Amino acid sequence: MRLVITLMTKNKILEKNKNKINQIFTEKMASKSEIFEYVEDNFFELDIDLLEVEFSKETIYDDLNKVISICEEILTNIQSDIDFIVANDDTDTEVNKYVEDWNNIKDFGLFVTQRIIPDIKSYYNSGVCNAYLNFEYVSFGCMF
């Protein structure tokens, strides 16, 4: 599976930070990656596509917790103004919804942010971030 991690920011991520972020994801997820960069209205989008990532029904929560901890590490040590959209294969629909209303994340597979999203219960929260998880539209390659 291709695990797409989309980083949304209001300011462009510095080149040195992009490289650090990519390195953290590829090392901790033991995966190769491809990087794509876009401008979406008032947001900058950086996509890190992790290749050949495999999640299973038995380990999905541990695997997603690992992704959340990587996002926390990035927010703490590299750049704090990032929202992460995580899905399998593509995040185009999610990005369009985010650009229209950055609080409209109810259909996203995994969303990690420092913000609190109104009217949506978080899956995980800490002093660093809040994570919102939904399997309704994103399977992460698992059948439930």
DSSP per position, the chain:
--EEEEEEESSPPPHHHHHHHHHHHHHHTT--EEEEEEEETTEEEEEEEE-S----TTTHHHHHHHHHHHHHHHHHHT-SS-EEEEEES--HHHHHHHHH-TT--TT-SEEEESSPPTT---SEE-SS-EEEE--SS--TT---
pLDDT, position 89: 86
pLDDT score for 144: 66
Counting as low any pLDDT under 70, the low residues of the chain are 144
Record the pTM: 0.96
pLDDT of residue 80: 92
